[in-house]
Every structure is written in structure tokens, then in C-alpha cells.
Amino acid sequence: METLMSNKFILTATAFLLGTSMGIADVPKVAVDIAPVHSLVSKVMTGVGNPDLIIPAEASPHAYQLKPTNAESLENANLVFWVGKDLTPWLEKGLSSLASNASVSTLLDVNGIELLDFREGALFEAHDHGEHDNHDDHEKDSHKAHREHEDHSFEWAGVFELAKGTYNWSFSKVDGSYADPAMKMVILKASDIEAVEEKAEALLESSSFDTKKHNEQLVAQEKSFSLNFDSNKNMTVFKIKIEQSGKYTFFTEHMPFEFETNEHFLKDASGTDIEPILQEPDGDHHDHASHDGHEGHDHGAHDPHAWLSPNIAKVWLNVIAAKMSEADPQNAKIYFSNAKTAIENLDNLIVEVKTILDPIKDKKFVVFHDAYQYFENDFDLSASGAISLGDASDPSPARLAEVRKRVVDEGIECVLAEPQYKKGLVKAVIEETNSNTTVIDPLGVKLKPGPELYEQLIRNLATNLAGCF
């Protein structure tokens, strides 16, 4: 009798464990791009399962390279939640190839949220683009239209603000070959594309040019260069010597983005990407068909940092619950219940954060890069400007000087740093000023991934910002 009862217990326990195992096996495998969104998905999945995080919080989403474990998570995923290509254009190709069988939810495409455009320039309220201020909008538009309907000897022009020194311009094979075996280029000391384009075209069309090969040096001058790409190398690199700090306009026979894979084309001596402050054509180059796998420079059409709005996060929670329920109907009640609780908690968080930030609503502050306007909109704040012109590049010495002047002239009290960027850059802005600085983190670098991260992230943003004054 005792043996019979014992066997019955074993069979019952075994059946329970098997049932539990089957239940777990039925839970969809979920992959999420960044830690704040991963936190929202984790909230919805509480008690059912755990999503995989693709991009660690300490890594920049703009330039992350997938590791084998990340690729495996995408390959095994039934559901993928990501912000969208405006944040991680390089991930789009990975989703189409690795997660082809998964249901992919692009959160920036969700109905019920208002997407914001990036604010123009580093200083939002008063932009100074040098000689461009001499041209009104009509003239600029007319010129652009003219360029679009007329053949030119160059496909692309970009203005860079460069300090004295040597830079690397790299060209890579794409799909096993260079877009062309050679390309002509002109570098002129000028800040206005329109003002020097005729001179550039004449130089590009001239039969007189200097041929440059791998690792050879170009000096900015009124001369055309023919860049010959080394077919034996996956990347051909040219040295560009800048003898005097200032703005330089590059004209290239072909789109430079046609020669990019994992490397950006212009870097300084430390390997930091240098972004153009103006370019024609001026659209986001990630839309170019050849660069689906390119790790991002600037973003696309919209500011992608929408997760920093708790009000948008509430909308996303309902979407996440609906997608999870569609894939896993047996746990639908749990997903929607978890989402409801999470939304209520965010409502309480919004009240708490408003209380923290109300005393500083009229204070002036500068952010490192323009990532916080969704947060600002939720809590009635307004940044005076940003240090960096792009998310994936450090500002030039000239940009730092420009922002520092603004800080001094307007008595800006706080300049915000981020853990993903060099602290010395902010120090250079506030040196010998009365401004304070503190670190704010839009991704949750020092926070434990999981359901609690999102609320901690928003609360930390508020307390650190308020503590700067």
C-alpha cells in the first residue's frame, strides 16, 4: 500500500512537472532591442516568461555589433519588439535575415503616439550656420531644386567642421567589391556648398588630378584627387591632412555611403566618427539601398528616443500585451493584467516626477545630445541646446567653443553629461563658468535589466536633473 502511494505520488509529480514544462515551452520566445523597452516587455511577461535583450544598456544602440548570442536570440524569437530603424538602422537587415519567421513590432509605428523631429542644430533657439545665414529659405530651396534637375560632376557634398590634424577617410567593399575602382574628390576650405560648387565641378572635370592610393595623404587645396581603391583589400584608407582648423567642404564623384559596411567614412586620429554638419543630398543616408547593415550615424526622419516619455510607454504597454496575447492566447489575461498594473504604476510615477521637476521648470540646461524632448514634453521642460550634433559622433573643438559661449552668454546653469560619452567634453564646456554638471542616463547603464529598470530610469532622470541646480 505504501509502495502504491509512493508510486502514485511520483507519477503525479512527474505529470505536474511535464505539464509545467509544456506550459513553459508554449510561451513565445521574445527578443527586444534596448533595455528600457526590454523592461516594459518584462513587465507584461511577469509570471509567464522572460524576454531576451539584444543590445546591452552599456552599449550604444547606434553602433552596436551583433554577437553570436544576439543572433541566436533573433533566430529563435517568435516575437521581436524594437524601437525602429530611426534608432538602429543596422538592425533592420538582421531582423529580415535572422528573425524572418518572427512577428516584428516596430514601436515607433504604433498608432496613438506623436513622433517628434530632431531639433535643428546644436543650439535650438538660435542657430548660427555661418555664411548660410546670408541666404534666405527661398534661395536655399531654389538651389536645391536646381541641383535635383541638373547633372553634376559630383553626387555628394558635405561640410565638416575639422580641427587641425590628420583624419582617415575609409572606403570598404560592399558585397565583395568596391562600388567603383576609383573616385574623384575635391576638398575646399569653405562652409557653403553653393558658394564653391562651380569651382569644385571645374576641378572634378579637369584632366589634371593627383592619384592617391591606400594610406597616401590628401591635403585640402584647390586640386582634384583620384582615389584608387585597392581590390586586394577589404578597405582602402586615405589620410586627409587639415593644416588649419575650420569648415571644409568635400565633393565626391560618388555617394560615399556606397563604400560603407561596418565603418563610417571619416574618423579622427582616435577613431571617432566625424559627421557632416551639412550635406547634399541632405536625406538620411541609411535609406540608401546599399547600407542596410551600416551601424548608424544620425537617425532617420524622426527622433527615436520616444521611450523617455512615460505617456508613450503606457501606449506601448497595451500594444505589447496585445501582441503577446495574440501569440499566446492561454496567457492573455495575465499579459493584459500586467499591462494594466504597469500603466497604473506609470501614472503614479508621472505624478512623482512632476513633483520633482516642478521647481526647475524655468531653469536653463544643455543636454549632451538631443535625446530628451519626449521627456521634456511630458514634464514641461525645455532644453536650451545640445552639445553634439549627432548621436554617434563627438563634437568638434569648434562646436564645444560655440556651446561654451552660449552657456556663458545666457547664464545656463546646468550642462548634462551621459555615461556613453567622454566626460572631458562636458568639462571643456563648463570650465571657468558658473555651470554645474551631472550625468543623466537615457538607457539604464548601471541598472539591472528587468521589469524595474524603466521606472528607475525615468526617476533617475528626474532626480539627477533637478539635483544639478
Contacts of 457 (CB under 8 A, 6+ apart): 36, 39, 441, 442, 443, 444, 447
User: 295 falls in which pLDDT band (50, 70, 90)?
Assistant: very low
Measure the CA angle with vertex 101, ends 96 and 103; round to 5°. 85
Q: How large is the average pLDDT for residues 35-42?
A: 98
More confident residue, 268 or 2: 268
Q: How large is the average pLDDT for residues 155-181?
A: 87
Q: Decide: residue 331, CB within 10 A, 0-12 exposed, 13-18 middle, 19+ buried.
A: buried
Structure confidence at residue 285 (pLDDT): 39
Q: How large is the average pLDDT for residues 256-262?
A: 73
Structure confidence at residue 268 (pLDDT): 87
CA 75 to chain centre: 24
CA dihedral 342, 347, 349, 353 (to 10 degrees): 150
Q: CA 136, CA 75: separation in Å to the nearest integer?
A: 51
- HSE toward the beta carbon, residue 430, CA cutoff 13 A: 21
From residue 184, how far is each of 129, 195, 225, 236, 397 by CA, in Å? 27, 20, 5, 14, 29
User: Which three three-digit cell numbers place residue 58?
Assistant: 552599456
Q: How large is the average pLDDT for residues 354-360?
A: 97
From residue 68, how far is each of 52, 72, 95, 103, 274 by CA, in Å? 13, 6, 14, 21, 29
Structure confidence at residue 67 (pLDDT): 85
More confident residue, 371 or 174: 371
Structure confidence at residue 256 (pLDDT): 82
User: 127 falls in which pLDDT band (50, 70, 90)?
Assistant: very low
Report the amino acid identity of residue 464. N
Q: CA 193, CA 248: separation in Å to the nearest integer?
A: 10
Lowest mean pLDDT among 103-112, 251-260, 315-324, 345-354: 251-260
More confident residue, 18 or 56: 56
User: 62 falls in which pLDDT band (50, 70, 90)?
Assistant: confident
Q: CA 53, CA 89: separation in Å to the nearest integer?
A: 17
From residue 36, how far is each of 322, 367, 444 by CA, in Å? 19, 20, 7
Question: Does the pLDDT value for residue 462 go beyond 90?
Answer: yes
Work out the percent of the chain whose per-residue pLDDT is above 70. Answer: 81
Question: Does the pLDDT value for residue 13 go beyond 50?
Answer: no
Q: How large is the average pLDDT for residues 327-333?
A: 97
CATH 3.40.50.1980 in the chain, residue ranges: 359-466
Structure confidence at residue 300 (pLDDT): 55
Query: What CATH class is the domain 359-466?
Result: alpha beta
Question: Does the pLDDT value for residue 136 go beyond 60?
Answer: no
Structure confidence at residue 375 (pLDDT): 98
Q: Say if residues 193 and 281 touch (Cβ distance below 8 Å).
A: no
pTM of the predicted structure, to 2 decimals: 0.61
Mean pLDDT of the chain: 83
User: 258 falls in which pLDDT band (50, 70, 90)?
Assistant: confident
Structure confidence at residue 32 (pLDDT): 98
Structure confidence at residue 389 (pLDDT): 67
Question: Does the pLDDT value for residue 204 go beyond 50?
Answer: yes
User: 261 falls in which pLDDT band (50, 70, 90)?
Assistant: low
CA dihedral 417, 421, 426, 427 (to 10 degrees): 110
Q: Say if residues 423 and 440 touch (Cβ distance below 8 Å).
A: no
Work out the percent of the chain whose per-residue pLDDT is above 90. Answer: 52
